[in-house]
C-alpha cells in the first residue's frame, strides 16, 4: 500500500514580521517590556496635549454666568439634593438626544462649581428642562408633583414657596466663584442683590442694566407674589435657564449627530 506524500510539516512563515514577533512570544520579560512601551505610547497621546492646550472646552456662543437669582436657585437645588434623582448631562446617544434634546456641551457647565452632571436618574435629566414648562407648572410641581404628574414619585417641596429668599450673601458667593474663574465682574458683584430683585419682578426700571449684565435672562414675576422673592422663585429661575443658553440652530450643521 502506498501512502500519499505527507505535506511538509514546517509551515512557511507568511512574513518576516511574524518571525520577529516570536521574540516577544518566547520571552516573557521582553513581552512585559513590549506591553509597557505600547501602553505608555497610548497614555502619552492622551496626556501630553493637556500640557499645552489652554482649555479643552470648545468656545460656544451664548454661555454666561448665572445671574444672582439663578445662582440662589442653584444653591437651593444643591441644598435640597435634587441631584440625587436628577442628572444634568445628556449623553451623545440617539435615545437620549431624542428624549431630551441636543447632547450636553462641556461649555454648558463650565461655570458650574461643582458641576451637576449627576450619576443617578430616578427622575429625568434636567439639562434642557428650561422653557419646557411654564413657571406656574413648576410652582405646582414643586409644591406637589402629583398635582401635575399623577404617577410621580418625586417628593414635594411646599416650603420653598413659603420661605423668603435669603440673598444677603449672594454677592459674596459670586465673588468666590470669580476667584474660581467664573467671569463675574466687581460691578456684577456690587449689583447682585438689586439684580436678583430686578429679575424676579416685571417692569423694573433697572431692567436694561440687568439685561446688559445677563443677556437673555428671563425677567418676570416668577411666583405671582409681586415684590417678594421666595426660594421657589429662585429655583424656578434656575430651572427655566437650564439648557437654553446655546442656540443650537446655529450649530446644527456641525454638531448635530442625527
Ligand atoms: C426621589 C427622587 C427625586 C428628587 C429628590 C427630586 N426629583 Fe424631580 N423628578 C423625580 C421624578 C421621578 C420625576 C418624573 C415625574 C415628575 O415629573 O414628577 C421628576 C421630575 C422633575 C421635573 C420635570 C422634568 C421633566 O422634564 O418633565 C423637574 C423640573 C424636577 N423633577 C425638578 C426637581 C427639583 C428642582 C428637585 C429638588 C428640589 C427635584 N426634582 C427632586 C424625582 C425626584
Q: What is the pLDDT of residues 118-156, one digit of tens each?
A: 999 999 999 999 999 999 999 999 999 999 999 999 999
User: What is residue 187's predicted lDDT score, i.e. its pLDDT?
Assistant: 96
User: Do 109 and 83 form a contact (C-beta atoms < 8 A)?
Assistant: no
Which set of grid coordinates corresponds to residue 50? 493637556
Query: Does the CB atom of residue 124 touch ligand 1 within 6 A?
Result: yes
pLDDT reported for residue 123: 96
CA dist., res. 154 & res. 256, Å (int): 32
155 Cβ neighbours under 8 A, 6+ residues apart: 145
Instruction: Provide the whole-model pTM.
Output: 0.85
pLDDT at residue 258, as a whole number: 43
C-alpha 5 – ligand 1 centre gap (Å): 79
The residues of the chain scoring below 70 in pLDDT are 1-15, 224, 251-258
pLDDT of residue 257: 47
Instruction: State the chain's mean pLDDT as an integer.
Output: 90
128 lines ligand 1 (CB under 6 A): no
DSSP 27: -
145 Cβ below 6 A of ligand 1: yes
Any atom of ligand 1 within 6 Å of the Cβ of 122: yes
Q: Which residue's alpha carbon is at the smallest distance from atom 11 of ligand 1?
A: 123
Q: Which among 73, 128, 132, 154 is the best mutation to test ligand 1's pocket, defined by most ligand atoms within 8 Å of the CB?
A: 154
pLDDT given for residue 9 in this prediction: 61
Is 80's C-beta closer than 6 angstroms to any atom of ligand 1?
yes
191: Cβ below 6 Å to ligand 1?
Answer: no
- The dihedrals phi and psi of 27, each to the nearest 5 degrees, come to -135, 105
Q: What is the largest CA-CA distance in the chain?
A: 113
Ligand 1 pocket check for 149: Cβ under 6 Å: yes
239 lines ligand 1 (CB under 6 A): yes
Residue nearest to atom 24 of ligand 1 (CA): 124
Query: What pLDDT sits at residue 90?
Result: 96
Half-sphere exposure of 24 (CA within 13 A, CB side): 13
Amino acid at each position: 500500500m502506498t501512502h500519499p506524500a505527507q505535506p511538509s510539516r514546517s509551515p512557511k512563515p507568511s512574513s518576516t514580521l511574524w518571525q520577529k514577533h516570536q521574540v516577544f512570544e518566547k520571552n516573557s520579560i521582553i513581552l512585559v517590556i513590549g506591553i509597557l512601551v505600547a501602553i505608555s505610547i497610548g497614555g502619552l497621546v492622551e496626556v501630553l496635549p493637556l500640557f499645552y492646550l489652554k482649555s479643552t472646552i470648545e468656545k460656544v456662543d451664548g454661555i454666561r454666568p448665572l445671574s444672582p437669582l439663578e445662582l440662589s436657585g442653584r444653591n437651593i437645588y444643591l441644598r435640597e439634593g435634587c441631584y440625587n434623582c436628577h442628572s444634568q448631562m445628556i449623553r451623545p446617544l440617539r435615545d437620549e438626544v431624542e428624549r431630551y434634546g441636543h447632547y450636553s456641551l462641556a461649555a454648558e457647565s463650565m461655570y458650574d462649581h461643582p458641576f451637576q452632571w449627576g450619576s443617578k436618574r430616578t427622575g429625568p435629566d434636567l439639562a434642557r428642562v428650561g422653557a419646557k414648562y411654564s413657571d406656574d407648572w413648576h410652582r405646582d410641581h414643586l409644591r406637589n408633583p402629583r398635582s401635575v404628574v399623577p404617577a410621580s414619585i418625586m417628593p414635594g417641596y411646599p416650603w420653598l414657596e413659603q420661605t423668603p429668599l435669603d440673598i444677603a450673601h449672594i454677592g459674596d458667593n459670586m465673588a468666590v466663584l470669580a476667584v474660581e474663574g467664573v467671569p463675574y465682574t466687581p460691578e456684577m458683584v456690587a449689583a447682585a442683590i438689586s439684580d436678583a430683585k430686578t429679575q424676579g419682578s416685571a417692569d423694573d426700571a433697572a431692567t436694561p442694566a440687568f439685561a446688559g449684565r445677563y443677556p437673555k435672562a428671563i425677567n418676570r414675576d416668577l411666583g405671582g407674589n409681586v415684590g417678594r422673592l421666595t426660594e421657589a422663585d429662585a429655583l424656578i429661575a434656575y430651572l427655566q435657564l437650564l439648557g437654553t443658553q446655546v442656540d443650537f440652530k446655529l450649530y446644527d450643521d456641525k454638531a448635530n449627530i442625527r
